[in-house]
Structure 1
Amino acid sequence: MATPSPTPDQARNRLPNLFEVLSRRTMAPVDLFSFYIYMRDQQRSVDYLDFWLDVSQHMSLCRHYVRELRRSVLIDTPELEKASKHSSSGLEGTSDSGLAGPSGTQEKPAATTPEQRLSAFLRSETQSRHSPSHSQGSQPSTQNTTPGSGHEPLPRPGFVANSNSNSPGTSGQDSSPGNISSSPQHTVNRADIRASAEKVLYTFLLPGAEREIILPQGILNQITSAIEEQGRDDPEVFDDAKDYVFQAMERDAFPGFLRSKALGNIVPPSMMLRLIVGLLALFGAFWTAFILIFLNFGRLTRCWLILPFTVGVYALATHQYMLDPILGLLGFSEYTFLSFHRMREPYVRKLIAKRSLMVLGAVILIDAALCCLFIFVPGKRL
């Protein structure tokens, strides 16, 4: 079964799952960009998401390499084109986004997935083209060899892609394999695949890495051995780590993301500001109300209490529900502090609108009760 299309699904009448968000099938405010910002600013664990995206990018690079290899063979031998269509269909059956569920499986995985066939192809090509002591035979001889070959240990490689992926513009957005590769004419060679696998290893997995993520030691040992000792660079090397990271994000981060973006529309700094403003406004409203009552001011003068009570109740209600009802009814959501964008996911937009009406009704009810109490109570000068 092929990977679902990354085209956003506008007919979905439910909240999206993590797989749909990662495969770019959702729209704001529950899209991949929003999830990236949430992982960066609130969870403080964006390295896990960047690892997932870089492994998916590695998958896309491998798939592009296989397609280019097949294309070059067909150009040299046109008579093989018809016979090769069936054998290569599995390698091209998935989308270029490189995203799949845990271990590359879908709802009902086949006995052999396209990702597994792609990995098997790359492993067989490595065994047939490279000697056991030089896993990077396609690279210039000046490059370092892998550990265990009797040479110096492999240093940090010159990464093909930019290693600074602290913003959604690097790992969080679609990148064509041509943009990943440094080869002439945007082609992908085996050295690029090797460097991509090493980039993931040296950036996220090894102890003391630049953006080290916490994984079980058995998974780390397996990946390190496969890349540095066995010379593997196929996507299947990272399957166990990708499973673990997916499940960790699904269990620990994604429920909070849905609460924040699908049930609310403001971010924590804005919530804290509203809490402060609400408490100050209510304190001023109560203080002023008691002064006007005990100085026996008229009810018309006390009507000005509507302003501070309304501001205080509204601000505290938005903090409590993580939702600004006016912005919700207008169809806007806060990405970062004081940065608002229009909501485009239909189901989320309807859900936010319903909650906004509920919160606005509660604000009006509480505000009216407080104003009536302090406006119509008889005054008495002390």
Structure 2
Amino acid sequence: MTTPSPLPDRAYHRSGFPSLFEVLSRKTLPPVDLFSFYIYMRDQQRSVDYLDFWLDVSQHLSLCRHYVRRLHRSVIEDTPELEKETSKRSSYILDNAGEGPSNEKGSTSDQRLSAFLRSDHGSTNHSPQGSLGSNRSTPGMERPRPSFMTNDGSSPGNNSSSPGQISSGADNVPKREDLRASAEKILYTYLLPGSEREIIIPQGILNDIQEAIEGPDQRSDPELFDAAKDYVFQAMERDAFPGFLQSKGLGNIVPPSMMMRLIIGLLALFGGFWTAFILIFRDASRSTRCWIILPFTICVYALFSHQWQLDPVLVLAGFSEYTFMDFSRIREPFIKSILTRRAIVLLAAMIVADTAFCCLFIFVPGKML
């Protein structure tokens, strides 16, 4: 069974391992794509809430950009032709808000976007009806948090119910209330103590965000999450990403498969030794002893695959394992070249070890007991 993975918008040819920012920006291909990182954070790192927080904040930024663009278009459409030329300077901040490199730290365009949203605060300064901020203590008012991982295994960020996801329908044009509801949802889902998917961030950062959203300013601009987003990014880059590269950049099997290979390898090792000693002490012919090549080959292949976290036959066939017995093609050129070289070296080591075991027990003199 193979699992399709979304391709990035552009193909990037690199001469080294990708960075975490490239993975999160969807500039990488399987097995080091965003979907693979999500699965790794969920199944192995057990800290997928940090990645979901980062993705939700990024979608909140997209929601803010979409809101500002729509607002700018409506301003231009309502401006008389004679006044459009004189309004260019005043509308420049709207026209350029949110443009530039996607999610780039310190982006001037994102700063202009946040500055505009703060200046536009007077247009609405109350919580939208039904939002989490309207009545946090009433359980019935709390909206269920949509997950980035749907039941059909779709990739993160493609779920239309996610907080920042924008549909193309006219009825789904974002409003200022939607921006505030999105900011509140991030706060009450991830940041407040005891929240549904609480992540650990410094108390000072949490206090600043809570004051900005619930205080008199009632901010909803994406800049208010910058400190928390940077902290989460650095935590993932330090604690999770090296293990992800080790698992997917240098190997192609997941822990359950490794455990299965360990069990099979140990059983085959026991069976190989038992069979070999039985044949030796019954003084069987060397041609008969050649059958021990079967258990020893299985033993060597399984144990070496477990130790290297690599199945060389799968690599040469061009596959990597997402989850247990669920495979996808290796599409990242640099990763494919690294795994192919490791697979060839591993196969050579397997052949040497297997040959040594078989020669030892085939050519040793037999003795009838």
The residue that corresponds to 2:268 in the other structure is 281
- Confirm whether residue 211 of structure 1 aligns to residue 191 of structure 2: no
The more displaced of 176-185 and 210-219 is: 176-185
Give the structure 2 partner of residue 192 of structure 1.
178
Q: 2:132 and 2:186 mapped to 1: Cα distance?
A: 18
Aligned in 2, Cα 1:100/1:179: closer, same or farther, shift over 3 Å? closer
Q: Which residue of 1 aligns with 2:146?
A: 164
SS in 1 for 2:367: coil
Written as runs of structure 1 = structure 2, the 5 A alignment for 1:105-116 is 105=106, 113-116=108-111
- Number of the residue aligned with 1:373: 360
CA distance in 1, matches of 2:24, 2:323: 20
Matches within 5 A, 1:1-80: 7-77=9-79, 79=81
CA shift for structure 1 position 156: 7.3
Q: Shift in Å at residue 262 of structure 1?
A: 0.6
**Could you tell me which amino acid in structure 2 is paired with residue 117 of structure 1?**
R
Structure 1 unpaired stretches of 5+: 1-5, 147-151
Q: Indicate how the Cα distance of structure 1 residues 362 and 60 shifts in structure 2: closer, same or farther if over 3 A, else same.
A: same
Q: TM-score, normalised by structure 1?
A: 0.86
Give the Cα separation in 2 of the matches to 1:249 and 1:145.
29
Return the letter of the residue paired with 1:185: D
Q: 1:183 to 1:117 in 2, by over 3 A?
A: same
Distance change in 2, residues 1:202/1:170 (3 Å): farther
Conserved in 2, the CA contact under 8 Å of 1:50 and 1:171?
Answer: no
CA distance 1:282–1:144, change in 2 (3 Å): closer
What is the number of residues matched between the two proteins? 353
CA deviation vs aligned residue, 1:263-296 (integer Å, no higher than 9, x gap): 0000000000000100110111011101100110
Q: TM-score if structure 2 supplies the norm length?
A: 0.88
- How many Å apart are 1:172 and its aligned residue? 1.3
Matched, 1:120 2:115: yes
Residues 182-236 of structure 1 deviation map (CA, whole Å, 9 limit, x = unaligned):
9962211001101000110010001110000011111111100000012001001
- Name the aligned partner's letter for residue 189 of structure 1: K
Q: Within 1, Cα distance between the matches of 2:296 and 2:273?
A: 8
Secondary structure of the structure 1 residue equivalent to 2:344: helix
How far did 1:158 drift?
5.8
Quickly say closer, same or farther: Cα 1:184–1:89, change in 2 above 3 A. closer
Are 2:31 and 2:330, in contact at CA under 8 Å, matched by a contact in 1? yes
**CA root-mean-square deviation:** 2.6
Provide the identity percentage: 60
Pairs within 5 Å for 1:1-382: 7-77=9-79, 79=81, 83=88, 86-94=92-100, 99-101=102-104, 104-105=105-106, 113-126=108-121, 128-130=122-124, 134-136=125-127, 139=128, 163-165=145-147, 167=149, 172-174=156-158, 179-180=165-166, 185-229=171-215, 230-382=217-369
Letter in 1 for 2:218: G
Structure 1 residues 215 and 25 mapped into 2: Cα distance closer, same or farther (>3 Å)? same
DSSP 3-state at the match of 2:15: coil
